[in-house]
Copies of this chain bind each other. A is one copy, B any other.
Amino acid sequence: MGAVSATARTPKQDRSRATRQRLLEAAVACLAERGWAGSTVTVVAERAGVSRGAAQHHFPTREDLFTGAIEFVAEQWLVALREHAHALPREGVPRTHAVVGMVVDLYTGPIFRAALHLWVAAANEEQLRPRVTALESRIGREAHRLAVEMLDADEAVTGVRETVQATLDMARGLGLANLLSDDSARRTGIVREWSAVLDGVLRRGI
């Protein structure tokens, strides 16, 4: 009987999980396209093909839905990045360039665009601010840790930690520069030159 109810429960749980994931993905797409002002639970539920009631069952508030969505996609992205790390060039400037390129791709893509809308909205919305502050700091820390690992950076060497942090800040700035117009040509040159400079800083201690 235990076995029967277990098999009976599983498809329902799968459906619930799939619904949740559809809502999270629709929420990120909605934020990226319409900004915070245009992003409501109703709009996202419609886009995901889910009833408003079902959406509210998963995410009681608008803040739950959108902070949950950014967290979900950012984590997915970090996991994917870790999985692809083995495909990177083994060492030297080519590896540094590839890692900087991957980080910059994150910050110039649709996930960052969605996060940026949430981030800026949080500056003026009391309900959002503490959650987005915590979320941003968690994602920032994770991205930093991953960058250090993939760059094989020794943070004990003077200046290495700050230069890796600066690389992430530069990537965020490039994301902003890409918001209103296609900045990819300028960005390619910056990523190339900065990767060479960063590689020099990383190898100083060796």
Contact = CB atoms under 8 A, between A and B. Distances in A.
B174 A169 contact: yes
A169 B177 contact: yes
Contacts of A175: 173
A163 interface: yes
Interface in A151-206: 159, 161-163, 165-166, 168-177, 179-181, 186, 189-190, 192-194, 196-197, 201
Mostly helix, strand, loop or mixed at chain A's interface? helix
Given A38-B124, A124-B37, A166 B180 contact: no
A34 interface: yes
A153 B192 CA distance: 19
Contacts of A119: 176, 179-180
B159 A166 contact: no
Interface in A11-51: 33-35, 37-38
A130 to B, nearest CB: 9
Give the oligomeric copy count: 2
Interface residues of A, number: 48
Contacts of A181: 133, 137
Contact of A163 (B33, B163, B176, B197): B197
Interface string A72-87: 0000000000000000
B38 A193 contact: no
Nearest to A132: B180
Contacts of A38: 124
A62 interface: no
A74 to B, nearest CB: 15
A95 interface: no
5 contacts: A37-B124, A113-B123, A116-B120, A166-B193, A170-B173
Interface of A: 33-35, 37-38, 113, 116-117, 119-124, 129, 132-133, 136-137, 140, 159, 161-163, 165-166, 168-177, 179-181, 186, 189-190, 192-194, 196-197, 201
